[in-house]
Amino acid sequence: MNRQRTIETLSAVEFEHVVEQFIEKAATWDGVLPAETFFAAWEDLTEDAPPLEVQATFVGDELVLETAPESPLTARGNRIRLEDGRELVIRFRSFASGVRP
Amino acid sequence: MPKITLPKGFSEVEKTIVLDYLETIGVGQDWARLVRTFNRLREAMVMIPGRGQRTFASIYTHLIDTHLMGPFIETLYQVDDVKASAVRLWASGAQQIVTLLCKAQLYSSDVPLTRLLLAYCLYWWEATAKGYAFEIEIFRDLEGRGIDFVAHDIRKSTERFTPYDLQIAHFLGDIKTSTYFLTLVSKTLVCDFYITRLWLSETRSRTLVVFLRSLMWDEIDGDTLLVAWQELENNPSQPVRIAHGSGELVVADYELWKDKVRAYQTRQEGNNESAKNH
Whole-number Å distance between alpha carbons of A31 and B176 = 10
pLDDT one-digit tens code per residue, B186-229: 667 789 999 999 988 877 888 899 999 888 888 887 666 666 66
Tell whether the model's pLDDT for residue A99 goes beyond 60.
no
Give the pLDDT confidence of B4-17 residue by residue, as tens digits.
999 988 999 999 99
State the average pLDDT for chain B: 89
Q: Does A22 touch chain B (CB under 8 A)?
A: yes
pLDDT band for position B100 (cuts 50, 70, 90): very high
Predicted pLDDT at B214: 83
Of the pLDDT bands very low, low, confident and very high (cuts 50, 70, 90), residue B246 is low
**Beta-ladder partners of B208:** B197
Residue A37 lies in a domain: yes
B7 reaches A (C-beta below 8 A) = yes
In a domain, A38, yes or no: yes
A36 shares a domain with A17: yes
Given a cut of 70, whether residue B151 has pLDDT beyond it is: yes
If you measure CA to CA, which chain B residue comes closest to A80? B9
Chain B residues whose CB is inside 8 A of the A31 CB are: 126-127, 130-131, 134, 177-180
Average pLDDT over residues B218-245: 72
Q: Is the pLDDT of residue B233 over 80?
A: no
Closest residue of chain B to A10, computed from CA coordinates: B112
Instruction: Report whether A42 contacts B35 (CB < 8 A).
Output: no
Q: Is the pLDDT of residue A24 over 90?
A: yes
Contact status, residue B87 vs residue B133, Cβ threshold 8 Å:
no
**Residues 61-90 of chain A whose Cβ lies under 8 A from any Cβ of chain B:** 69-74, 81-85
Please tell me the number of Cα atoms within 13 Å of B11 on its side-chain side: 15
Region B103-111: what's the mean pLDDT? 94
Residue B237 pLDDT > 80, yes or no? no
The alpha carbon of residue B114 is apart from the nearest alpha carbon of chain A, in Å, by 9
What's the domain range around A67?
A: 55-93
Q: How many beta-carbon pairs under 8 angstroms link A with B?
A: 156
Q: Answer yes or no: is A76 within a domain.
A: yes
pLDDT of residue A28: 92
- Band (pLDDT 50/70/90 cuts) for residue A46 is confident
- Smallest CA–CA distance, residue B266 to chain A, in Å, is 32
Do A42 and A66 reside in the same domain of the chain?
A: no
Residue B33 burial (10 A CB sphere; 0-12, 13-18, 19+): middle
More confident call, B183 vs B150: B150
- Selecting from A6, A31, A35 the residue whose C-beta is nearest the C-beta of B180 gives A31
Burial of B85 (0-12, 13-18, 19+ CB in 10 A): middle
Given a cut of 80, whether residue A50 has pLDDT beyond it is no
Residue A101 has pLDDT above 60, yes or no: no
- Alpha carbon distance B257, B246 (integer Å): 24
Q: Determine, for residues A46 and B187 on separate chains, whether the beta-carbon distance falls below 8 Å.
A: yes
State the ipTM, two decimals: 0.89
Residue A19 vs residue B251, higher pLDDT = A19
CB contact (8 A) between residue A39 and residue B87 = no
Query: What pLDDT does residue B238 have?
Result: 77
Predicted local confidence at residue B206, as pLDDT: 86
CB B250 within 8 A of CB B214: yes
Could you give the CA distance from residue B20 to residue A5 in angstroms, rounded to a whole number? 11
Whether the CB of A53 is below 8 Å from some CB of chain B: the reply is: no
Separation of CA A61 from chain center: 29
pLDDT above 90: residue B111: yes
Predicted local distance difference test score (pLDDT) of residue A43: 86
Give a yes or no: residue A100 inside a domain: no
Beta-carbon separation of B87 and A28 below 8 A: yes
Does residue A73 sit within a domain? yes
Q: Is B115 on the interface with A (CB under 8 A)?
A: yes
- Residue A101 belongs to a domain: no
Kindly report the nearest CA distance between residue B54 and chain A, in angstroms: 17
Question: A42 and A16, same structural domain?
Answer: yes
Nearest CA to B167 out of B181, B186, B148 is that of: B148
The answer to whether the CB atoms of A72 and B8 lie below 8 A apart is yes
CA atoms of B194 and B141, how far apart (whole Å) = 15
Residue A57 has pLDDT above 90, yes or no: no
Number of domains in chain A: 2
Residue A92 has pLDDT above 90, yes or no: no
Q: How confident is the model at residue A62 (pLDDT cuts 50, 70, 90)?
A: confident
Predicted pLDDT of residue B222:
67
Give residue A95's pLDDT: 54
Is the separation of the CB atoms in A41 and A33 below 8 Å? yes
- Which three-class secondary structure string do you get for chain B? CCEEECCCCCCHHHHHHHHHHHHHCCCCCCHHHHHHHHHHHCCCEEEECCCEEEEHHHHHHHHHHHHHHHHHHHHHHHCCCHHHHHHHHHHHHHHHHHHHHHHCCCCCCCCHHHHHHHHHHHHHHHHHHHHHHHHHHHHHHHHHCCCCCEECCCCCHHHHCCCCCEEECCEEEEECCHHHHHHCCCCCCCCCEEEEEEEECCCCEEEEEEEEEHHHHHHCCCCCEECCHHHHHHCCCCCEEEEECCEEEEEEEHHHHHHHHHHHHHHHHHHHHHHHHC
Position B179 pLDDT exceeds 50: yes
- Which residue in A has a C-alpha nearest to residue B196's C-alpha? A32
Round to whole Å and give the CA distance between B191 and B163: 8
C-beta atoms surrounding B261 within 10 Å: 23
